Amino acid sequence: MSSAVDHHDDHHGPVTLKDGFGKWVMRWISTTNHKDLGTLYLWFAFIMFFVGGAMALVIRAELFEPGMQFVQPEFFNQMTAMHALVMIFGAVMPAFVGLANWMIPMMIGCSDLALPRVNNWGFWILPFAFTILLSTLFVPGGAPAAGWTMYPPLSLQTSNAFPMLIFSVHLMGISSITGAINVVVTILNMRAPGMTLLKMPLFVWTWLITAYLLIATMPVLAGAVTMLLTDKYFGTSFFSASGGGDPVMFQHIFWFFGHPEVYILILPAFGIVSTIIPTFARKTLFGYDSMVYATASIAFLSFIVWAHHMFTAGMPVAAELFFMFSTMLIAVPTGVKVFNWVATMWRGSMTFETPMLFAVAFVFLFTIGGFSGLMLAIAPVDFQYHDTYFVVAHFHYVLVPGAVFAIMGGVYYWLPKWTGVMYNEKLGKLHFWLTAIFVNVTFFPMHFSGLAGMPRRIPDYAVQFADFNMWSSIGAFGFGFAQLIFLWVVVQSCLKKGEAATSRVWEGAHGLEWTVPSPAPYHTFEEPPMIADAEITAVHDEPAKA
Amino acid sequence: MKRAVSASLLGLLPGSALALQWNLTEGVTEISREVYGLHMLIFGLCVVIGIGVFGVMFYSVFMHRKSKGAKPANFHESMTVEVIWTVIPFVILIGMAIPAAGTLIKMEDASDADMTVKITGYQWMWEYEYLDSGVHFYSRLDAEADRARQTGSGADVAAIDNYLLEVDNRVVLPVGKKIRFLLTAHDVLHAWYVPDLAVKKDAVPGFVREIWTKIDEPGIYRGQCAELCGRDHGFMPIVVEALPQDEYDQWVASQTGGATTDVPADMEAEATDAAEQQVAMASDAEPEAEQADAADSAPAEMGKDELMAAGEKAYKTNCSVCHKDTGQGMPPAFPSLVGSAVVGGEPAAQIQQVINGKNAMPPFGHLSDTDIAAVITYTRNSWGNDSGVVQPADVAAQR
């Protein structure tokens, strides 16, 4: 560290282990620094990724061959429900919040998030929420087993775990809302002078839109699960026909939250990929404005398509037609994004470091998930696909080589900026190739088992599905163990083992985060930076010089 | 286990006994063929678009590399191409939406049905009531598969015909008739799913959903419950046996005791009434206890040992998954039977609960009087319980 900003660290730098273990622990508990909290979020997400992954491996072990070998059906159901809850709320969402924490202030040129104490609170809710959720595995009656969607009346059969599930979902919701409010307030109020909205990096844009989705939908989820709670314990009948309610109403409310939720899980990924591809193509992002409008269109449409998750639940035919058409419309802005990424690569000068590999794989594999999504939108055919492994293949394609690949690409991309050292590129590439191969071995055969008629969420299956399931299980274990390489690479970087990184890190990188030293000082942009247009990803008048 | 693995890996090779099904079934109804056509149409479109987009992308990935001396171009926006790649997909979508809408509207039109079958989902079996002929039965996973699927049974499931896809009582339906299904559920959501008929519909407790099919070819068509319904969600298959009309009529006659059933002219109206009643009944939609076995019509007095032996067998098949072999259950969801007030109390109450179910416990009224008497005797005289013997006649009295 040798730049002029470093003197700040002398008087209010972070407490390190050298100052004593207790002080060091207290630093992390009490920190309001966006970089510290970003780190905490990312490590929390990483741990949950392994916890949820272990559950997935229990599922895949049982499904390796037909017959029940290892677990009881009820435990299998607990695993499917918990795997989804942990991965969605514990891994992917916190990982995006962690990236937002680290990068948004550095991208828009402000010193921290607008509400640092709220930020601390938002993070520290999560360990409690997941302690409650995971401890249900040890209560009488076991963990929630009615799927992450918690459809009543089945979810009301959950025993002691039920209130713990509801309260942990409430806590996760509070955490998400605090994070989202912080992002919105920061972006709208704290941009450096000259950073107009349409000059913001795409990652900031996608997060701004994501934050609005979170604020709009998390209270809906909280309402839905609260109604479950009162149905079970306080004699209400929101979802019970015997009291004048309707179980299907839960599904409408849940998916009014749930569909925007799936875009919450993918929009920031779009932002990351839109950041990585121009860097390694050494070319400005194609169609910046249309990327912003496409993201906003997707967000808007996400509120009017929810019932495509429940075509088989029974609806008037007019409603089915409406939800089919509106769902198909989403293909248009999503297509625009894919075309723009390809046009950005076209006639670039590309290199394929690990972040770029993940980004290119994202475009390829996410699009495959998009295609199967389009197929699922066609209601009459959805009657065949619904609740089969075809759906499982679809959403894992958009969530694993979609959201998770973008997160991994983002981590490799910004890791040198965070730690100050280059990660091990060879191991990074090895991690990529193993991950990319095994993710397809795992999830591609699920398209076939689904088309052949295998229902999802079953612990045992008819013998004709055996081959596809065996491939999926082999792929899943390969995928799981490949992630240990990722863990190793990240830990090595955090231990500062590796070549020192320059402040620019990547030859083609643009944006304010690359104007500060690597590792980024504990406090950045305490004075708003002067913005050179060439530094901003979206340059309308003057293309960035490579 | 090893053998199953190697057999399965061999399945990759051509000529293996079990052909892999890679694609959606075309099915055996006009609708299912239309659905298959739509599936192939949209799949084909996706493949064509995918080849185009990925072709351009991978061409770029291989040709526009820095290592090949590629210099970055400067272009970064164009209103014209943005409009083009917004409008073209939109037009393609309209082309797809039109046939899809046509098929959807057809699928949702269950009017003018020739016959009606009411289907009720239970944890974990199906109940079928033929509203026109009065045939009525329960259908559950067949006993052999049910034993093999228990965790750690060590059974070679590959040796079982149609493992997990066979039932004790099949739904027999005539070909060439428009059959309307009225779907509901007793406890939680289920979904009735038969791929060859392109039928999948949720069964919702307290509500009736309508769907229809018209099967073209006689045959046996297998499906499964498609909506997560708890522990044995994977173990409540559906088997449809489609017969030519005359064979179907014979089957109906055999089910209704040989007599030709009088079908009142206003049966259709009654069917609808029954459906509406179901809405009102909601939580207390208890099935009529039908005697499954005619041989049981004159229950004989049985010895305790005989009852205990039969009871143990029936208990292991029907009860032990929840109440466990030790009788201790998994409280609080599945109560312990050891020292239980119900098991130690009046036999009548216990018989009622077994026949009709309670909360999470499904009704077992489809079991014979002998089996119910045996299983109750077994629970009353095991694990330290000692509360007497129940005879088949006692069960019959409670029906």
Q: What average pLDDT does range B148-168 have in this prediction?
A: 90
Residue B276 has pLDDT above 50, yes or no: no
Alpha carbon distance, N-terminus to C-terminus of chain B: 45
Residue A348 has pLDDT above 80, yes or no: yes
Residue B124 located in a structural domain: yes
A381 contacts B39? CB cut-off 8 A: yes
B232 contacts A332? CB cut-off 8 A: no
Q: What average pLDDT does range A146-156 have in this prediction?
A: 95
Q: Which of A14-18, A63-67, A201-205, A263-267 has the lowest mean pLDDT?
A: A14-18
Q: Which of B60, B85, B205 lies closest to A247 in CB terms?
A: B205
Chain centre to alpha carbon of residue B56: 45
Residue B266 has pLDDT above 60, yes or no: no
- Residue A535's pLDDT is 65
User: Nearest C-alpha of chain B: how many angstroms from A243?
Assistant: 9
Segment of A10-24, A65-79, B62-76 carrying the highest mean pLDDT: A65-79
User: Nearest C-alpha of chain B: how many angstroms from A453?
Assistant: 7
User: Please, what are the domains in chain A?
Assistant: 28-535 (1.20.210.10)
- Residue B271's pLDDT is 45
CATH number of the domain encompassing residue B189? 2.60.40.420
- Residue B77's pLDDT is 84
Instruction: Select from B237, B253, B284 the last residue of a domain.
Output: B284
Q: What average pLDDT does range B196-203 have in this prediction?
A: 96
What are the CA-CA distances from residue B1 to residues B4, B17, B146 (Å)? 5, 18, 18
Residue closest to A6 by CA, chosen among A533, A541, A529, A518: A518
Chain A contact set for B61 (CB, 8 A): 345, 350, 352, 360
Residue B357 located in a structural domain: yes
B230 contacts A77? CB cut-off 8 A: yes
Q: Which of B1, B12, B200 lies closest to A467 in CB terms?
A: B12
Beta bridge partners of B122: B125
Q: What average pLDDT does range B23-37 have in this prediction?
A: 95
Let me know whether B140 and B97 are in one domain. Answer: no
3-class secondary structure for B86-118? Answer: HHHHHHHHHHHHHHHHHHHHHHCCCCCCCEEEE
Query: A331 and A370 in contact (C-beta within 8 Å)?
Result: yes
Residue A245 has pLDDT above 80, yes or no: yes
Query: B200-215: per-residue pLDDT in tens?
Result: 999 999 999 999 999 9
User: Nearest C-alpha of chain B: how many angstroms from A288?
Assistant: 7
What's the half-sphere exposure (Cβ side, CA atoms, 13 Å) at B226?
31
Residue B141 located in a structural domain: yes
Q: What average pLDDT does range B371-395 have in this prediction?
A: 88
Let me know whether B263 and B119 are in one domain. Answer: yes
- Residue B152's pLDDT is 82
Query: B76-120: per-residue pLDDT in tens?
Result: 888 999 999 999 999 999 999 999 999 999 999 999 999 999 999
B163 contacts A380? CB cut-off 8 A: no
How many domains, chain B? Answer: 3
Give the H/E segment covering residue A345.
Answer: helix A331-345
Residue B2 located in a structural domain: no
Let me know whether B380 and B308 are in one domain. Answer: yes
User: Nearest C-alpha of chain B: how many angstroms from A159?
Assistant: 6
Would the CA dihedral through B160, B163, B168, B170 be positive or negative? negative
CB contacts under 8 A, B 145-204 vs A, are 148-153, 155, 157-158, 162-165, 187-189, 191, 193, 195, 198-202, 204
Residue B232 located in a structural domain: yes
Let me know whether B144 and B275 are in one domain. Answer: yes
Residue B217 located in a structural domain: yes
Domain that holds residue B145: 115-284
Chain A contact set for B53 (CB, 8 A): 338-339, 342, 367
- Residue B220's pLDDT is 96
Let me know whether B341 and B378 are in one domain. Answer: yes
Residue A61 has pLDDT above 60, yes or no: yes
Q: Which of A313, A345, A460 lies closest to B57 in CB terms?
A: A345
How far, in Å, CA of A172 to CA of A222, rounded?
A: 10
CB contacts under 8 A, B 262-281 vs A, are 279
B200 contacts A384? CB cut-off 8 A: yes
Quick one: tokens of A453?
A: 């008629």
CATH number of the domain encompassing residue B328? 1.10.760.10
What are the CA-CA distances from residue A105 to residues A34, A41, A434 (Å)? 8, 16, 34
Let me know whether B126 and B214 are in one domain. Answer: yes
Let me know whether B193 and B234 are in one domain. Answer: yes
Q: Give me the DSSP letters along A428-469.
A: HHHHHHHHHHHHHHHHHHHHHHHHTTPBSS-SS--GGGHHHH
Q: What is the mean pLDDT of chain A?
A: 93
Q: Does the beta carbon of B360 lie under 8 angstroms from any beta carbon of chain A?
A: yes
Query: B225 and B187 in contact (C-beta within 8 Å)?
Result: no
Instruction: Select from B56, B90, B107 the last residue of a domain.
Output: B107
Residue closest to B238 by CA, chosen among B195, B277, B278, B204: B195
Let me know whether B250 and B122 are in one domain. Answer: yes
Local confidence band at B261 (pLDDT 50, 70, 90 cut-offs): very low
- Residue A194's pLDDT is 87
Q: What average pLDDT does range A480-505 have in this prediction?
A: 95
A367 contacts B53? CB cut-off 8 A: yes
Residue A508 has pLDDT above 60, yes or no: yes
Query: B321-365: per-residue pLDDT in tens?
Result: 678 778 888 776 678 888 888 888 888 888 888 888 877 787 787
B66 contacts A282? CB cut-off 8 A: yes
Q: What is the DSSP letter of B243?
A: E
Residue B25 located in a structural domain: no
Let me know whether B279 and B298 are in one domain. Answer: no
Beta bridge partners of B129: B118, B136
Residue B163 located in a structural domain: yes
Query: A96-116: per-residue pLDDT in tens?
Result: 999 999 999 999 999 999 999
Per the rule left: phi > 0, alpha: psi between -120 and 50, beta: everything else, B112 is left
3-class secondary structure for A466-526? Answer: HHHHHHHHHHHHHHHHHHHHHHHHHHHHHCCCCCECCCCCCCCCCCHHHHCCCCCCCCCCC
Helix, strand or coil, per DSSP, at residue B334: strand
Instruction: Select from B284, B310, B328 the last residue of a domain.
Output: B284
Helix, strand or coil, per DSSP, at residue B330: strand
Let me know whether B298 and B390 are in one domain. Answer: yes
Let me know whether B42 and B61 are in one domain. Answer: yes
Let me know whether B262 and B382 are in one domain. Answer: no
Query: A493-502: per-residue pLDDT in tens?
Result: 999 999 999 9
Task: Select from A328, A372, A392, A448 the residue whose CB has the most chain B CBs within 10 Å, as the one to mutate to test that interface.
Answer: A328
